[in-house]
Amino acid sequence: MGQGEDAAPPPGPALRKGFGDGTQQPRGFRGVIQVPGNSPPLSLTRSTYLSPALFGALLATICVAAFLLPAAAPADEASLAEATPSNGPTTQTVSGQETTVLGDGSTAVAGEVLVGYAGSSEPQTVQIPESSDPAAVADRIEDTAGVRYAIPNYIASSSGWLPNDPGVNPGRRGSWGGWRGKQWNFLSCLSLCHASRPSGRPQSRGGMNVVRAWQNLRRAGRPGAAGVKIAVVDSGIAYRRMGRRFRRAPDVARNRFLPGRDFVDNDRIPLDLFGHGTHIAMTIGEQTDNRRGLTGIAYRSKLMPVRVLDSNGDGDTADIISGVRWATNHGARVIVMSLNFTCGVEVPPLEEALRQAWRKGVVMVGSAGNIPNEGCPSMPATSPEVISVGGTTESGCVATYSFESTAVDISAPGGGRDRDGCPHASRNRPILQLGMVAHDPGWFKIQPTWIGTSMSAAHVAGAAAAVIASGVLGNRSGPGRVAARLEGTARLPSYAAGNPASGFGAGIVDLGRATNPAVTTD
């Protein structure tokens, strides 16, 4: 299972869970004024000459604004460190320039504002100390005689839709779209895989191109795989508040959850006491484009909590079979099972339940299992009806915990370290979502500890829902065709070609291609 390959809980009696100035100045006046102290110079550029009076007034205003107004708040380094210390600041470099987050959540170039002067149609750049708040400085400059407007040098993004989620814990201040600095697993490979593609955008060799899939689904009229029912057969989900102990996960709306079932406590309240199921659910469907937390693959899908694992992450055969049958009979279109039996164990009644689900059109996804928790890929992933998922890293390589085996059908991000022989280097970060902290159902933050094929299976479950919603398969979107679509559009690294036991299976999911109606597969 997934909360760290070397820190798994002890196995239960029947089951162990598998767990990113050289511009030409206009002709005319250019002034560089050194203000008192060690601050950088203020550079004023105009296409026409400024009168001495206007120049003096503007200089005085800039000095006052830059040094008396409070500096812009720094990026939320504290909350970022809570998630993963190696991620760096939340602000990004755009076209070689450092950016800063403004009070309204927008992003602008640090250390400059744009000023429009009377009689000039083109705005001119005014450089200010990088520690100053561009919005506050612009407000002061705008009050100067002869100035028509002054604004921060705002950052815009391409019209291809991107979520605005800031990538920080609730209550913290982050940048627009800051999730891209943490969720490498959702990014496209771009120039890292294809030299002809853009290189100036956030990208990851290990990402599965969710960004493009989001755009494809919006064009198809089903943003975020809207309405697809996904059963998380796991340790439950933090889907509601109950008493003082339980809180609903803060980055999923209440109406996203379907009625579920708890087969551990035999009731209708499948709340999570372990945290694993909630993390799986967040990878699949964390609320997206709501200026909060992180993002999810199928962010408008319907999540069905089915609890079959206890507070230690263990469950028995009877409960798991009951969970699969219940989800099937209650309309699940996708079932994800991030859990594993011992290597080599055969479970005929579970096989029977899986066959029944297959016949009813349910796409089933399972984690192949983790080293050393399992000795080989195992049930339920190894059932013919289930998509068996291996784990890959930020480098786009097979992870140390994942098996090199022909029993792996496809691979997806699981985070962690690379196996020996990986030709690429990266930070090899974990899979980040806004989930439960320390198995506490009332405490939620971005957690930096989850890695494993459990996380990989969650990615494929979300991907299966996206393929169904995209309409690329028309009315023939049964489990076999969904699996074939994902495998037929997967990205297999060149060094793994010709090795059926590489651990990649068909390759790393490329969800942008899988949901693109222009891409055909055999």
Rounded-to-5 percentages of helix, strand, coil across the chain: 25, 20, 55
The single residue listed with the structure tokens 């930096």 is: 448
In terms of phi and psi (left: phi > 0; alpha: psi -120 to 50; beta: otherwise), the region of 369 is left
Residue 200 CB neighbour total at 10 angstroms: 11
Q: Counting every residue, how long is the chain?
A: 522
Pairwise CA distance, residues 434 & 445, whole Å: 5
Shortest CA distance to 213 belongs to which of 460, 396, 463? 463
Residue 199: per-residue pLDDT: 65
Residue 66: per-residue pLDDT: 52
Contact 394, 365 (CB under 8 A): no
Q: Letter for the amino acid at 292?
A: R
- What's the burial of 228, exposed, middle or buried (CB within 10 Å: 0-12/13-18/19+)? buried
The single residue listed with the structure tokens 């250390």 is: 111
Identify the structural domains of the chain with CATH numbers, from first to last.
Answer: 34-154 (no CATH), 210-514 (3.40.50.200)
Chain-centroid distance, C-alpha 213: 13
pLDDT, tens digit (0-9, with 9 covering 90-100), for 218-233: 999 999 999 999 999 9
Secondary structure of 94-156 in the HEC alphabet? ECCEEEEECCCCCEEEEEEEEEEECCCCCCEEEECCCCECHHHHHHHHHCCCCEEEEEEEECC
Pairwise CA distance, residues 44 & 128, whole Å: 10
Sequence-ordered list of residues with C-beta below 8 angstroms from that of 201, at least 6 positions apart, any chain: 20, 188, 190
Pairwise CA distance, residues 413 & 204, whole Å: 11
- What's the burial of 68, exposed, middle or buried (CB within 10 Å: 0-12/13-18/19+)? exposed
Pairwise CA distance, residues 389 & 490, whole Å: 12
Shortest CA distance to 428 belongs to which of 414, 416, 446, 413? 416
Contact 58, 142 (CB under 8 A): no
pLDDT, tens digit (0-9, with 9 covering 90-100), for 256-273: 999 999 999 999 999 999
Q: What is the pLDDT along the chain (522 residues), one digit of tens a residue?
A: 554 443 333 333 344 344 433 333 333 333 332 333 333 333 333 333 445 555 565 656 665 555 544 443 332 322 223 333 333 334 566 666 788 877 665 678 899 999 999 888 888 999 999 888 998 999 889 888 889 999 998 876 544 678 888 999 988 888 888 898 999 999 998 778 877 676 667 889 999 999 999 999 999 999 999 999 999 999 999 999 999 999 999 999 999 999 999 999 999 999 999 999 999 999 999 999 998 999 999 999 999 999 999 999 999 999 999 999 999 999 999 999 999 999 999 999 999 999 999 999 999 999 999 999 889 999 999 999 999 999 999 999 999 999 999 999 999 999 999 999 999 988 899 999 999 999 999 999 998 999 999 999 999 999 999 999 999 999 999 999 999 999 999 999 999 999 999 999 999 999 999 999 999 886
- What's the burial of 198, exposed, middle or buried (CB within 10 Å: 0-12/13-18/19+)? exposed
Between vectors from CA 505 to CA 502 and to CA 507, what angle results, nearest 5°?
Answer: 100
For residue 504 the two structure tokens come to: 């990649």
